[in-house]
Structure 1
Amino acid sequence: MTDPKGGVAPVSTRVMNLATFLTQIARREPDAIALVMGDIRWTWAEFEARTDALAHALQTRFGLNKGDRVMCQSQNCLEMMQAMFAVWRAGGVWVPANFRQTPEEVVYLTQSSGARLMICNAAFPEHARACKAGCPELTTILSFGESDFAPSVQQITAESLGQRPAVAPVLRDDPCWFFFTSGTTGRPKASVLTHGQMAFVVTNHLADLMPGLTSDDASLVVAPLSHGAGVHQLTQIARGVKTVLLPTERFDVAQVWDLVREWRVSTMFTVPTILKLLVEHPSTVAADLSSLRYIIYAGAPMYRVDQQKALRTLGKVIVQYFGLGECTGNITVLPAHLHEAEDGPTTRIGTCGHARTGIEIQIQDDRGVELPPGQTGEICCIGPAVFAGYYQNPEANAKSFRDGWFRTGDLGHVDEQGYLFITGRESDMYISGGSNVYPREIEEKLLTHPAIGEVAVLGVPDPLWGEIGWAICVASGAVGEDEVLAFLDGKLSRYKMPKRVLFWDALPKSAYGKITKKMIREELEARGLIGEKANA
């Protein structure tokens, strides 16, 4: 077939439902171990049967239709992975929240996504009740585990075992995952990830981050499945890699190394903060690291000294990537063989790697013109890993795309060989422990305190967390740091809480009367609180 212009007209944009990855490996290796958590083991056949059962129940008992959004509020558990695949199989859209968020925050995510169904871990009854009260479109709530607010996924699965759902047919651009991110407003936005996009992401992860994975490999999950770790585990399932979850929420380095030894763990997804903890813990000295192949780190810059220590401790097994949620991590990669512990003439210190396979990067000026190597501008990219846009947010879409290029909002430059160096951010957002923090949300909460008239929150370097938040306040009355932090407690997720609160008589302002963070940072340096004077 040809179109009127002489090209080939598309016959179909039908693609594989992502849940088929599970079916394929369950057929090939039904009796092999798929999931591990504490003393619990699921084979691939059991994982598949439980997924089928839940997907059937979602369709027949709870009326889940293709395109319906399913909110998930839970810490890591085996049933969370089961639910993700069941939702896809039934044709729904997976909408996971960061389990550390407050009930108020999850209510907003549920409302803005238009979720009709929610699956909430039994450990979060307040979140379930808040969403039930505040989200009129929410018709059904289920729970992971026994609870007093909803029927359990475990019981529903047991009642439906042996049932097969109608696997939803999907097109390339059909949504499968709402990946929540935020802009400079601080209000979370739902990045729409699609079945076709995610199939490319899985293929790209296998090509660029973890080449050569087989069912002999094992992957340890040390980060929340709601975000990057969930994408990482989808990639593992595509190759039949067993997934090992930590038995509790508590992050215990010695326990991590015990699990690495027991299961011959070869892959992990982490952030620089966790990688630093793994490297520096006393138990690492005696740990059996021989099975490690790929430790992926992303989400924040890593100090060179920490990178060197990781390489000298773990060997050349660390892999870095740069990529926002909107691109599901697929912008750059610095593979293991390009990591060097020693500084030398060929060592590219500070780079986050080169463009991922199938991705093109440009450094652009304010008009969208490509800048030459060495010049700083906005990092922009195109490729099949770029999301379909923000859900029901045309204003954000118009701002984030220009001539088909996705604008990351990050500033950087490339060298002559195309290696990317991130030099700053257009927005005020900072990254603490791998999580994005948006100052305006914190500032708005602080300004509800009766004694605070002006405030600016900014990220400052920290050797453990990468960056931490400092709040610079102008107060109208007597108020102290402890009182302000107590006031914020419960109003923000813990990772968003500022670590320091300073009080000044006035905040520096521009000629237009605008509070300017650049001037505040300069003042902090002048006072010797940050920068070279602070480190002297």
Structure 2
Amino acid sequence: MSGRPDFGAAAVAAAAVAAAPPGGVAPVSRRAMNLAHFLVQAARRHPSRPALLCGNLRRSWRELDARTAALAQALAERGIGKGDRVLVHSRNSFEFVETLFAVLRLGAVWVPTNFRISPDEAVYLARAAGIKAFLCEGQSPDHAAAVAGAMPGLALLARLGAGGFGETDTSALIEARLEGAPRACADVDHDDPCWFFFTSGTTGHPKAAVLTHGQMAFVVTNHLCDLMPGTTEDDVSLVVAPLSHGAGIHFLTQVARATCTVLPEGARFDAGELWRLVERHGVTNMFTVPTIVKMLVEHPAVDECDHRSLRYVVYAGAPMYREDQKRALEKLGSVLVQYFGLGEVTGNITVLPPSQHRAGDAPDARAGTCGYERTGMQVSIQDDAGRPLPAGQTGEICVCGPAVFAGYYANPQANAKAFRDGWFRTGDLGYQDEQGYLYITGRQSDMYISGGSNIYPREVEEKVLAHPAVAEAAVLGVPDPTWGEVGVMVCVLRPGHALEADALLDWLAPRIARYKLPRQVFFWEALPRSGYGKITKKLVRDALRERGCLAPAAQAGR
């Protein structure tokens, strides 16, 4: 696959301008800032200040700028240039960050993977993106071999770190070119792609959402405006999630303000280590997902370490359950920032700032909301025919604005399904209240119909999480010969608690309509999580099947 992707809404808009009648707007090239210029700016203003910290390792802004320029030169020597896709497979590291800015400098397209994917999945991403080069961590030789075997014409296969494959490693490429590497960033237009943001693929093969330089400049500006106002070079950010996805967008925002970023040394999530880093470095912000916030605030280290430096704990990926939100506010104070946004809108649909997070249950607390529209963005709740619905009615959450991606790469069928009358269809269900606050009731694929009634799993999950013994819960619909579908619930209990299914259902019965009660309840030690720490219904359903928990009719269901 090669050539310019089908840009969906962006292509439609460009065509409209090009077809303007005499006296209308003439088509012009919209020059944009290359995103790598954020790094150039930081290096100019604060050359000696730390850009990256990890244990005893340190990179200054000057060093990071020089190293990415050198790596960009090495890639250019292999024929990699504007529009070419570079697949990068790695855990969080200094080297991983260097690939981002090296690729951006060239006007090429960064294609990061979730480092937990299998070699076969890496091959799929490589083919779907039509890559020209592959930069792979030394710890993943099987991924390198699989991609190289599937795409023998690669211009470059290089390692990040030590290993036994590839022509060389990126550090060697950089060291050989540190002196005299050109520092200028390639010229780019507003709609030039810079990042292929692969969807999680929970309902099928991942799709490459095309993010562009102009779109991402707006997203970074909006993050600074709506999520972390007042961020400067005196702030410190802690990485708590893979930089290949949402945390990478958050990281770009830090670079735009020359904010130092701290990477944990451990390869695995360690809440104790994270809280020690907050205390040691005076961390002021972090980005994560609700399940990780929950684990952080329930770890003993939250009471042992000084975290008063925190100003913003940004969470996204899913709304936080109300009971978890209350505990987080109790432990951390007024620092929570929620945003709602898919990769296709680069996390840029709504915001619930610290001032709107209330610990109590007063009417103005708006329990369950994910906030109001981000600056420059508009939300529309629509029915199946695309008609807007009034306040209080549930429908599909649709959005428009400068943060919406350009479209899926080389996937016109997906683009046709994702866009309607200029609106991007998120696939999430929800409603807005009279003041415009958005409430998510679930994914379209999560909702199930039992006896003709729509049931939204999140409503049931919110109720059951108020039980003092329940730490986590997931509800999903499974096929049933009588009712069409019925609910199945999986719970994780808090340490030291015991509970029977009948007792939990008896407790739940007066708190929710009878038809919404799950028909089966299972207690597990843990719920399965995606590579980004999220609990998805697909993973729970797969685990139920693997454990033989579903009846034959449900086993054969969706």
Partners of 1:115 and 1:137 within 8 A in 2 = no
What amino acid sits opposite 1:126 in the alignment?
D
Contact 1:93 1:176 in 2 (8 A): yes
Q: Find the residue that maps to 2:407 and give its secondary structure.
A: coil
* Aligned counterparts of 2:549 and 2:277: Cα–Cα separation in 1: 46
Tell me the amino acid that sits aligned with residue 253 of structure 1. Answer: A
Matches within 5 A, 1:237-276: 237-276=255-294
Q: Give the match's secondary structure for 2:380.
A: strand
1:194 aligned onto 2:212:
yes
Cross-structure match for 1:86: 102
Q: Is the 8 A contact 1:90 1:165 kept in 2?
A: no
Determine the structure 1 residue equivalent to 2:528. Answer: none
In 1, the alpha carbon distance for the partners of 2:153 and 2:331 equals 51
Matched, 1:308 2:326: yes
Return the offset for 1:227. 0.3
Q: How many Å separate the matches in 1 of 2:152 and 2:22?
A: 48
Matches within 5 A, 1:53-452: 53-60=70-77, 62-150=78-166, 151-162=168-179, 163-164=181-182, 167-182=185-200, 185-428=203-446
Distance 1:266 1:461 in 2: 36
Aligned-partner Cα distance in 1 for 2:214–2:493: 37
* SS of match in other structure, 2:301: helix
Mapped contact 1:202–1:234 kept (Cα < 8 A): yes
Deviation at 1:219, TM superposition (A): 0.2
Moved more, 6-15 or 64-73: 6-15
**Structure 2 unaligned runs (5+)?**
1-17, 448-456, 459-473, 477-484, 495-533
Comparing 389-398 with 179-188, which one deviates more in the overlay?
179-188
Matched, 1:50 2:96: no
* Distance change (3 Å), C-alpha of 1:462 and 1:353: farther
Q: Deviations over 1:387-415 (max 9, x none)?
A: 00000000000000000000001111000
Counterpart position of 1:484? none
For 2:489 and 2:127, the matched residues in 1 are separated by: 33
Give the match's secondary structure for 2:319.
coil
Map of 2:553 onto structure 1: 507
Aligned residue type for 1:22? L
Instruction: Return closer, same or farther for 1:460/1:381 CA change in 2, 3 Å cut-off.
Output: farther
1:167 Cα deviation from its structure 2 partner = 2.3
Query: How much does 1:196 deviate?
Result: 0.4
1:286: how far off?
Answer: 1.8
Residues 458 and 298 (structure 1), Cα distance of their counterparts in 2 relative to 1, 3 Å cut: farther
> Which whole-Å CA distance do the structure 2 matches of 1:102 and 1:340 have between them?
42
Count of residue pairs the alignment pairs up: 463
SS at match of 2:364: coil
> Contact between 2:88 and 2:113, CA under 8 Å: does it hold in 1?
yes
After superposition, give the CA deviation of every residue in 1:468-489 in whole Å (9 maximum; x if it has no partner).
xxxxxxxxxxxxxxxxxxxxxx
* Structure 1 residues 51 and 458: CA distance shift in structure 2, 3 A: farther
Deviation at 1:261, TM superposition (A): 1.2
SS of alignment partner, residue 429 of structure 2: strand
User: TM-score normalised to the size of structure 1?
Assistant: 0.82
**Residues in 2 aligned to 1:261 and 1:333: alpha-carbon distance in whole angstroms:** 27
Closer/same/farther in 2, CA of residues 48 and 362 from structure 1, 3 Å limit: same
| C-alpha separation in 2, matches of 1:186 and 1:336 | 36
TM-score (norm 2): 0.79
2:350 and 2:374 in contact (8 A); partners too: yes
Q: In the TM superposition, what is the alpha-carbon distance from 1:373 to its structure 2 partner?
A: 0.2
**Contact 2:80/2:155 (<8 A) preserved:** no
Deviating above 2 A after TM superposition, structure 1's stretches of 4 or more consecutive aligned residues are 2-12, 135-139, 182-185, 427-431, 456-465, 493-506
Any idea what the Cα deviations from partners look like across 1:344-367, whole Å, max 9, x if unmatched? 021101101111110000000111
Q: Write out aligned runs for 1:13-52 (5 A).
A: 13-52=30-69
> 2:319·2:340 contact (CA, 8 Å) conserved in 1?
no
Is the 1:224–1:230 contact (alpha carbons within 8 Å) kept by the matching residues of 2? yes
Cα deviation for residue 504 of structure 1 reads: 5.2
One-letter amino acid matched to 2:348:
N
Q: Is the 8 A contact 2:239 2:264 kept in 1?
A: yes
Give the letter aligned to residue 28 of structure 1: R
Q: Structure 2: how far apart are the matches of 1:379 and 1:214? A: 34
CA shift, 1:101, in A, is: 0.6
* Aligned-residue offset at 1:372: 0.3
Tell me how far 1:6 sits from its aligned partner. Answer: 3.1
Contact in 1 for aligned 2:83/2:193 (Cα 8 Å): yes
Q: Compute the displacement of 1:134 (Å).
A: 1.6
- For the 8 Å contact 2:319–2:338, the answer to whether it is kept is no
Q: Secondary structure at the match of 1:119?
A: strand
Identify the residue that residue 446 of structure 1 maps to in structure 2: none
In structure 2, what is the Cα distance between the partners aligned to 1:494 and 1:421? 19
Structure 1 residue matching 2:251: 3-state secondary structure: helix
Two-structure CA RMSD over aligned residues (Å) = 2.7
Secondary structure of 1:329's aligned partner? coil
Given that residues 332 and 355 in structure 1 are in contact (C-alpha distance below 8 angstroms), is that contact kept between their aligned partners in structure 2? yes
DSSP-derived class of the 1:346 partner: helix
**Contact conserved, 1:144 with 1:153, CA < 8 A, in 2?**
yes
Q: Does structure 1 retain, via aligned residues, the 8 Å contact 2:66–2:183? A: no
Letter in 1 for 2:157: I
Bigger CA drift: 288-297 or 163-172? 163-172
Cα separation, 1, equivalents of 2:62 and 2:554: 63
Q: Deviations over 1:27-82 (max 9, x none)?
A: 0010111111111101110011101110111102x210210000011000011111
Contact preservation (8 Å) 2:341, 2:347:
yes
Distance 1:18 1:155 in 2: 25
Is the contact made by 1:181 and 1:190 (CA closer than 8 Å) also made in structure 2?
yes
User: What secondary structure sits across from 1:42 in the alignment?
Assistant: strand
Cα distance in structure 1, aligned partners of 2:303 and 2:550: 46
Query: What is the CA–CA distance in structure 2 between the aligned matches of 1:179 and 1:459, rounded to whole Å?
Result: 33
Mapped partners of 1:113, 1:34: distance in 2: 30
